[in-house]
Amino acid sequence: MGKCSRFLLLVFLFFTVYLYSQQDGRQAHMVLDGYLDRDVIAAAELQLNALKVEVGGDLIIRVNSFAGDIHGVLELATKIYHLKVREGFHVIVYIQGRAVGPAAIFPFLADKLIVTPLVAWGDILHGVEDQIQSSTLQNTIVPFIDLEAKRGETLQHLVSAMIDPYYKLVYGQKGDREIKVEKNDQYRNDPLIINLKGMKSLNLVDEVLSDEEFQRNYVVEGAKEAQMSKASTMDKLNHRFQKYISYSEIDNNLIGYLHIGVDLPINQSTYIYVKFALEEFVRKRVRFVVLDLNTPGGEVVSALKIVDLLQKLDMQHHIPVVAFVHDWAVSAGAMLAYSCRFIGIEPNSLMGAAEPVHMGQGGEMISASEKVNSALRAEFSNLAMFYGRNPLIAEAMVDKDMVLVLRNHEVVRLRSESEVRTDGAHPDVVLVEKGKLLTLNAKQMMSYEVADFEVFPTSLMEITDRERAEKMWPAEKLLLFQQPYLAKIPNSIIIEYRDWRVGFFTFLSHPFVTSLLVVGLIIGFYIEINTPGFGVPGSIGIGCLALIMIASFASQAVHWIEVIILGVGLILLALELFVIPGFGITGILGIILTIVGLFSLLLPDMGRFNLFNLEVLHLVGSFFVERLVWLCGALIFSVIIIVILAKLFSHRYFRFSKLILKGEQESQQGYVSGVPREKLPQEGALGETLTPLRPSGKVHIGDNLFDVSTQGGFIEAHVTVEVVRVEGNQIIVRQLKVEE
């Protein structure tokens, strides 16, 4: 009986240990890496809900983040806390480099805290200072802390120090290893960020492990993993794809295709091509647009206008753009890539080197001024932040005076190269030196989260000549669609845009051609005004005006107000020339409005840029100056041609023959300037009105008919009037009353 009891006890212990080990082996992994945006939080919360059906196990949170959405992170942290308390999960936090900004909240939830040797933790309000009150944030985080744990009180002080700049670490006297967190209202510091030494001194660290050691010790082979947040880069990307790119399982999924290659530098022609293509894609309701880039760059203004089109397509029409960098996207090409929601690359892709330059007098390329450089740097920074990319990386592609290093897993900008840390256990990694522009290869673009995914070259079916002629082919024939999510889109069809109108309107929008049209318009109308009837010159003028308006409407965002201004100006000129005698305010106003209307039509997208913003003015000012020079040159040239024609053909026309009386009216031929003074009626003479006087009209006085005026009122016809006075040749009369 004793042996049987001992055997049963051993069996019981074996199954107890087995069941415990099975429960202990249950793991859920959360990887929070990079910018923690709403997309990441939403994905994490969805999968976090799935864990509520289970009880116990390890929730391992790997953190390597420097920024994020503070409110979203607080919501996620609160749900993790509830999972820990209610479902009995054991929370292990592994700081895999840095936990700065909102990500610094998660270590306060840890039952066990593990860090890498190169760790940085703190400054919870980094980048979100204006989004939440310090007191509110502190009151939300403190309940996450287990105050009964041995480090509970220290963590409570750390919350204050990582939020309030008046807290700091205070070290004990020599020989005293104790470190305290104290507040000093008289001295403001930066919010606390502590490294491994500080964390060890405060007894906060349970283990210090490398990535390989952590993987080996804490990730159970074949364990069930709940993919929360960025469980991997692919998981986050798939979630973003699912959010922004939808598709049909039954119908054809049309995908727009734009190609900007080395044979098509970024200029006005490229802008017209992209504009027409995107309008066509919107009409055909494509699922998304592929921007195939392999370009050395081009004009800044044209790139800015294309950026505007791409972002409006995404934000207004909800059609995202996926940029695919084939070989390189430098200068303005990098700007276009940054304006897309997704960026894909291949192993030999390059991106960067976007310093603005212009051509010197000798044909050499000269760097633009610091004002222009600063404006473009700000534009790159804004584009990068728009889709959650690091703005410092983008700025370094423009500004060769920047010094950028990787310090404690974070990209840091330095004022000079002397600030670079070259010694110690973890020296800075220099990303770009002063005097050089940042250009990233494929590995760096993925590492610094500039690119979202990478595809590798493989053999593809060739696009046939017939498919190119039809401008439509299966998406699987593009390398981009080797990306797993894009590859699974069923019935995906690429549609390409090509149209003769692009070349035609590109030709019309060239400054030289535009100037010729202006010259034809002015001279054609001038000759037509000075010749009888309507002939060829008038037709040429109308044709030039029509081409100017068609090109402006087709290739630019012309508003009706510009057409109205031009139309009103032309109408006022016509009234002044053909209806109103003389030349006065109507003609002057007509000339001004006509010139303003023409310039509004001929200066592409003048209203698109806020020229009162100094940065924008510095960036696009040279472009508008160049266009103004062409237009002013056209006006001056037109005036010179008119003067020459008037001199050579003065006896035939070119002297406003319809408006000015030719020849002279001499007294020998019977012409007189007015009625002789002796034949005018005397004061007091009576007469009868032949016409109503309002206030001028005709009156019979004696046997003669005179033009007269009243003293201000109206007098009806066939009424007796009296001459009041005679001023020069003007006769003033009044109506006689009945009693008179």
Three-state SS for 15-79 is HHHHHHHHHHCCEEEEEEEEEECHHHHHHHHHHHHHHHHCCCCEEEEEEEEEEECHHHHHHHHHH
Predicted pLDDT at 19: 35
**Separation between Cα atoms, residue 381 and residue 100, nearest integer Å:** 21
Q: What average pLDDT does this structure show over 528-538? A: 69
Within-domain flag for 3: no
- 620 and 632 inside one domain: yes
Predicted pLDDT at 653: 47
**Separation between Cα atoms, residue 432 and residue 440, nearest integer Å:** 10
Question: Of the candidates 184, 209, 231, which is a domain's last residue?
Answer: 231
- 591 and 451 inside one domain: no
How sure is the predictor about 673, in pLDDT bands with cuts at 50, 70 and 90? low
Q: Is the peptide bond before 427 cis (omega within 30 degrees of 0)?
A: no
Written in H, E and C, the secondary structure of 226-272 is CCEECCCHHHHHHHHHHHHCCCCCCCCEEEEEEEECCCCCECHHHHH
Predicted pLDDT at 659: 45
Is it the case that residue 363 has pLDDT exceeding 50?
Answer: no
Q: What average pLDDT does this structure show over 532-539? A: 70
**Separation between Cα atoms, residue 35 and residue 464, nearest integer Å:** 43
**Separation between Cα atoms, residue 393 and residue 227, nearest integer Å:** 29
Question: Of the candidates 231, 257, 290, which is a domain's last residue?
Answer: 231
10-27 pLDDT, tens digit each = 443 333 333 333 344 467
Predicted pLDDT at 524: 80
Within-domain flag for 433: no
Per cent of the chain over pLDDT 90 is 13
How sure is the predictor about 322, in pLDDT bands with cuts at 50, 70 and 90? very high
Q: How many CB atoms lie within 10 A of CB 259?
A: 19
How sure is the predictor about 655, in pLDDT bands with cuts at 50, 70 and 90? very low
Predicted pLDDT at 114: 92
Report H helices in 67-210. Answer: 70-86, 134-141, 152-163, 196-201
Within-domain flag for 411: no
Within-domain flag for 178: yes
Within-domain flag for 294: yes
Which residue type sits at 109?
L
Within-domain flag for 424: no
Please state the separation of Cα 462 from the chain's center in Å.
Answer: 36
Residue 708's beta-bridge partner residues?
697, 731
Tallying the residues shown for the chain, one arrives at 740
Please state the separation of Cα 338 from the chain's center in Å.
Answer: 10
- 298 and 443 inside one domain: yes
- 552 and 593 inside one domain: yes
Residue 98 belongs to domain spanning: 23-231
580-595 pLDDT, tens digit each = 655 567 777 877 787 7
298-311 pLDDT, tens digit each = 877 788 889 989 99
Is it the case that residue 690 has pLDDT exceeding 80?
Answer: yes
Is it the case that residue 342 has pLDDT exceeding 80?
Answer: yes
- 459 and 525 inside one domain: no
Residue 8 vs residue 539, higher pLDDT: 539
Tell me how many degrees the CA angle 296-302-307 measures, rounded to the nearest 5.
Answer: 90
Q: In which residue are the tokens 């009216």 written?
A: 665
- 262 and 323 inside one domain: yes
Within-domain flag for 568: yes
Q: Give the E-state strand segments of 554-671 in sequence order.
A: none
Q: How many CB atoms lie within 10 A of CB 101?
A: 23
Six token digits for residue 703: 């046997």
Within-domain flag for 671: no
- 116 and 45 inside one domain: yes
Predicted pLDDT at 18: 36
Predicted pLDDT at 259: 92
Is it the case that residue 331 has pLDDT exceeding 60?
Answer: yes
Residues 161-196 as b/e (b if ≥16 CB within 10 A, e otherwise) read: bbbbeebbbeeeeeeeeebebeeeeeeeeebbbbbb
CATH of the domain at 717: 2.40.50.140
Measured CA to CA in angstroms, residue 387 lies from 311, 314, 450, 453 at distances of 11, 11, 10, 15
How sure is the predictor about 227, in pLDDT bands with cuts at 50, 70 and 90? very low
Is it the case that residue 515 has pLDDT exceeding 70?
Answer: yes
CATH of the domain at 195: 3.90.226.10
How many alpha carbons fall within 13 Å on the CB side of residue 597? 21
Segment among 114-128, 264-278, 497-511 with least mean pLDDT? 497-511
- 474 and 599 inside one domain: no
Is it the case that residue 148 has pLDDT exceeding 50?
Answer: yes
**Mean of pLDDT over the chain:** 77
Is it the case that residue 492 has pLDDT exceeding 60?
Answer: yes
Predicted pLDDT at 622: 58
| Contact indicator for 566, 593 with CB cutoff of 8 Å | yes
Six token digits for residue 494: 């690429």
- 165 and 28 inside one domain: yes
Is it the case that residue 620 has pLDDT exceeding 70?
Answer: no
Is it the case that residue 53 has pLDDT exceeding 60?
Answer: no
Collect all residues with Cβ–Cβ distance below 8 Å to 41 and sequence separation of at least 6: 69, 72, 73, 75, 76, 229
- 488 and 555 inside one domain: no
Is it the case that residue 421 has pLDDT exceeding 60?
Answer: yes
Residue 594 vs residue 113, higher pLDDT: 113
Is it the case that residue 48 has pLDDT exceeding 50?
Answer: yes
Predicted pLDDT at 52: 58
Is it the case that residue 738 has pLDDT exceeding 80?
Answer: no
- 275 and 183 inside one domain: no
Structural domain tally of the chain? 4
431 SS3 class:
strand
Q: What average pLDDT does this structure show over 335-342? A: 93
Q: Could you say which DSSP state residue 715 is in?
A: B
- 65 and 155 inside one domain: yes
How sure is the predictor about 371, in pLDDT bands with cuts at 50, 70 and 90? low
Predicted pLDDT at 281: 94
CA distance from start to end of the chain: 159
Question: Of the candidates 178, 213, 231, which is a domain's last residue?
Answer: 231
Segment among 53-57, 198-202, 472-476, 611-615 with least mean pLDDT? 611-615
Is it the case that residue 634 has pLDDT exceeding 50?
Answer: yes
